[in-house]
Amino acid sequence: MRIEGSIRVFAGALVRSVWTYLVIIGTLVTVVLIPRNWYWIVPSAICVVVVLAASRAVQIVRNAAQADAARQIAEIRSDATRQREESQKLIHNLREEIARRDEEIVRLKVRPFTKAQQDSIDAKLKELDGTARDLLRFLLDRGESDTETVRKASQVHANSLEAAVEILKARGLIIKRDDASFLPAYIVSYWRVNPQCEQILQELLYPRNESRARPDFLA
């Protein structure tokens, strides 16, 4: 408790105590016969009252200080407990995140394809031009796309686009799906990367390393 607060508590307690004791003494004087030399008793009684009131006020200040100290200690303990719980929770979350990342690293190290499969697809990619490789990247990024979407994303001539589609289809790197639900009006064709080659192509085609900075297919 601060000094200013202690002084206010002491002064208030002193006034209340003096008043209380004066009421008590006044009542006793009223009941008991006052001796003839009462004017000597009154100053002595007032001194006694002030001393008793001061003692009581000191006790009140002490109790208030103890209560304030106990409250502050309780708040400090509560804050410490809360901070400890938050720290433990944070540590637990970090451990879970580390464990999850370790599992992810282990999973990524285990490749679902062999070296021979990777070399085979790598050899096919070396036979392709930049347009065909960019088309593969476009389908890897966008997923299955219809012919019109591929055509709109293309930055090359229609003949070059058709040639890229044909060679990728011939190499088994992309597959075609026809949607006949629009018959008899027309058939919508969809293209996507062959799922058996998808992960290998992800590793071989990225990062992009082509002679032209701008891709031939823009997402």
Taking 90 as the threshold, does the pLDDT of residue 135 lie above it?
Answer: yes
Given this model, what pLDDT does residue 143 score? 93
Banded pLDDT at 14 (limits 50, 70, 90): low
Return the CATH number of the domain spanning residue range 115-205: 1.10.10.10
Looking at per-residue pLDDT, the higher value among 35 and 16 belongs to: 16
Query: What mean pLDDT do residues 148-158 have?
Result: 94
Given this model, what pLDDT does residue 25 score? 65
Between the alpha carbon of residue 26 and those of residues 19, 65, 76, the distances in Å are 10, 32, 47
Banded pLDDT at 180 (limits 50, 70, 90): confident
Looking at per-residue pLDDT, the higher value among 16 and 131 belongs to: 131
Q: Is the sign of the CA dihedral 138, 142, 146, 149 positive or negative?
A: negative
Domain positions in the chain are: 3-85, 115-205
Neighbouring residues of 52: CB distance < 8 A, sequence distance ≥ 6: 17, 21
State both tokens at 15.
Answer: 């006034």
Query: What mean pLDDT do residues 142-167 have?
Result: 94
Report which residue type is found at 46.
I
Three-state SS string across the chain, please?
A: CCHHHHHHHHHHHHHHHHHHHHHHHHHHHHHCCCCCCHHHHHHHHHHHHHHHHHHHHHHHHHHHHHHHHHHHHHHHHHHHHHHHHHHHHHHHHHHHHHHHHHHHHHHHHCCCCCHHHHHHHHHHHHCCCHHHHHHHHHHHHHCCEEHHHHHHHECCCHHHHHHHHHHHHHCCCEEEEEECCCCCCCCEEEEEECCCCHHHHHHHHCCCCCCCCCCCECC
Which of 17-31, 90-104, 131-145, 204-218 shows the lowest per-residue confidence on average (mean pLDDT)? 17-31
Between the alpha carbon of residue 109 and those of residues 112, 113, 122, 199, the distances in Å are 10, 11, 20, 13
Which percentage of the chain shows pLDDT scores above 90?
36
Query: What mean pLDDT do residues 109-136 have?
Result: 87
Given this model, what pLDDT does residue 117 score? 87
Highest average pLDDT, of 8-17, 90-99, 180-189, comes from: 90-99
Looking at per-residue pLDDT, the higher value among 2 and 76 belongs to: 76
Looking at per-residue pLDDT, the higher value among 7 and 153 belongs to: 153
pLDDT digits (tens, 9 = 90+) for 37-76: 555 556 666 666 666 666 677 677 777 778 888 888 888 8
Report which residue type is found at 117.
Q
What mean pLDDT is reported for the chain?
Answer: 81
Highest average pLDDT, of 2-11, 50-59, 85-94, comes from: 85-94
Closest CA to 15 of 62, 49, 44, 64: 49
Q: Which residue has the tokens 């001796």?
A: 35
